[in-house]
A and B are shown apart, each in its own frame.
Chain A
């Protein structure tokens, strides 16, 4: 191989750089599922827990287009047999009224930084 003395150190540096997240976190605490504080007065959400856990971000994304652009105001929940305003602050945060103990705990643990609250006002 030509220039092996340059290529091999280069490859090593590249490999170290690409695996940075793994060795940087060596010895860090293992992931623990965050404790969420659920609303006490309400038994269930407008969709199943599994669905909300996996899809709440997509649901909010759809809601904002439906509400702002498509002219829909409410969401009919088959589970609750009731309609709710399609609104982060009026519906979601009505029950989950403590952002720190609900939204933030999970988002912080998974290093997600949603920008809802740069505009929407937390209760």
Chain B
């Protein structure tokens, strides 16, 4: 049901796009195409294997992500985080108890959950944050007005706001040219490396994790993520809120 509806919406959307987009190019046969290289999925999901991850690996993932996306390192509480370390207790306080001694302080990776039912998308007054067909919750930095309603809406603290001009905290010679920086006054967060997927590459943290982070199509019964979720016990953050987070933690 869900699939066929999604396909129908896709088809209708494409048909509508054909004559609604690019009014200035009407008549010309030039126009937008989808890249043949891009990785496709019905529903992208991430599985983080807490057994395989260690401190060093997590640092590598964070470094890879923040480097690739030109995330500035701001040394105060107005900082920007796309993926970061957070103790188990802080991530899963509603699923922990006083005797979880060894797990309590163990750091885990925290990032945007790319919820199936994302409150940030619901509350955004300009659709600057939106859900893609493949489940990725994306930010359109061009459109964000910086009202920060999404930050109040996100139950996972996954969103950061550019209180500063991020360029002040980035070395001009060190910038990665393939991805823009942000400007002052917009919200940003993890994007599941949508731009890499569109080029046919896997997300940066997945590549850096040496197999500790799996990434794939949850709707495909033969995908790695689907199989491992069937085999091992896993948690998601705050399931009772009904946001349906798509980052799974293997315990």
Query: Touching in the complex, A and B, CB below 8 A?
Result: yes
**For residues 78 through 123 of chain A, which have their beta carbon under 8 Å from a beta carbon of chain B?**
78-79, 83, 85-86, 89-90, 115, 118-121, 123
| Chain B residues positioned under 8 Å from A83 (CB to CB) | 33
Question: Does B142 count as interface, using CB distance less than 8 angstroms?
Answer: yes
The answer to whether A69 and B130 touch across the interface, beta carbons within 8 angstroms, is yes
Size of B's binding interface in residues, CB under 8 A: 32
Main secondary structure of the interface of B (DSSP, over half): loop
Q: What's the least CB distance linking B186 to chain A, in Å?
A: 9
| Chain A residues positioned under 8 Å from B17 (CB to CB) | 70
Bound together, the chains give a CA A77 to CA B28 distance in angstroms of 9
| Chain A residues positioned under 8 Å from B29 (CB to CB) | 76, 78
Bound together, the chains give a CA A90 to CA B34 distance in angstroms of 16
Bound together, the chains give a CA A71 to CA B178 distance in angstroms of 18
| Chain B residues positioned under 8 Å from A85 (CB to CB) | 35
Q: What's the least CB distance linking A98 to chain B, in Å?
A: 15
Bound together, the chains give a CA A75 to CA B180 distance in angstroms of 20
Encoded as 1 (CB less than 8 Å from any B CB) or 0, chain A from 53 to 69 comes to 00100110010111011
Question: Does B55 count as interface, using CB distance less than 8 angstroms?
Answer: no
A78 interface neighbour in B28, B130, B198, Cβ under 8 Å: B28
The answer to whether A79 and B38 touch across the interface, beta carbons within 8 angstroms, is no
**For residues 154 through 206 of chain B, which have their beta carbon under 8 Å from a beta carbon of chain A?**
175-178, 180-183, 198-199
B32 interface neighbour in A46, A70, A121, Cβ under 8 Å: A70
Question: Does B133 count as interface, using CB distance less than 8 angstroms?
Answer: yes
A70 interface neighbour in B21, B175, B177, B181, Cβ under 8 Å: B21
Given the interface pairs A62-B24, A69-B130, A70-B21, the reply to whether A119 lies near B141 with Cβ below 8 Å is yes
Q: What's the least CB distance linking A99 to chain B, in Å?
A: 13
Question: Does B101 count as interface, using CB distance less than 8 angstroms?
Answer: no
The answer to whether A68 and B140 touch across the interface, beta carbons within 8 angstroms, is yes
Encoded as 1 (CB less than 8 Å from any A CB) or 0, chain B from 15 to 53 comes to 001000110110011111111001000000000000000
The answer to whether A74 and B130 touch across the interface, beta carbons within 8 angstroms, is no
Q: Across the two chains, which residue of chain A brings its CB closest to B142? A: A64
Question: Does A14 count as interface, using CB distance less than 8 angstroms?
Answer: no
Q: Across the two chains, which residue of chain A brings its CB closest to B199? A: A73
| Chain A residues positioned under 8 Å from B91 (CB to CB) | none
The answer to whether B32 and A72 touch across the interface, beta carbons within 8 angstroms, is yes
**For residues 110 through 164 of chain B, which have their beta carbon under 8 Å from a beta carbon of chain A?**
130, 132-133, 138, 140-142
The answer to whether B180 and A68 touch across the interface, beta carbons within 8 angstroms, is no
Question: Does A37 count as interface, using CB distance less than 8 angstroms?
Answer: no
The answer to whether B180 and A120 touch across the interface, beta carbons within 8 angstroms, is yes
| Chain B residues positioned under 8 Å from A72 (CB to CB) | 32-34
Bound together, the chains give a CA A74 to CA B140 distance in angstroms of 18
Q: Sorted from nearest, which 3 A-B pairs have the closest CB atoms? A: A72-B32, A73-B35, A119-B180
- Supply 25 A–B pairs (Cβ within 8 Å), ascending by A: A46-B30, A47-B28, A58-B24, A62-B21, A62-B22, A64-B142, A66-B21, A68-B138, A70-B17, A71-B132, A73-B33, A74-B33, A75-B30, A76-B32, A78-B30, A83-B33, A89-B178, A90-B178, A115-B183, A119-B141, A119-B181, A119-B182, A119-B183, A121-B70, A121-B175
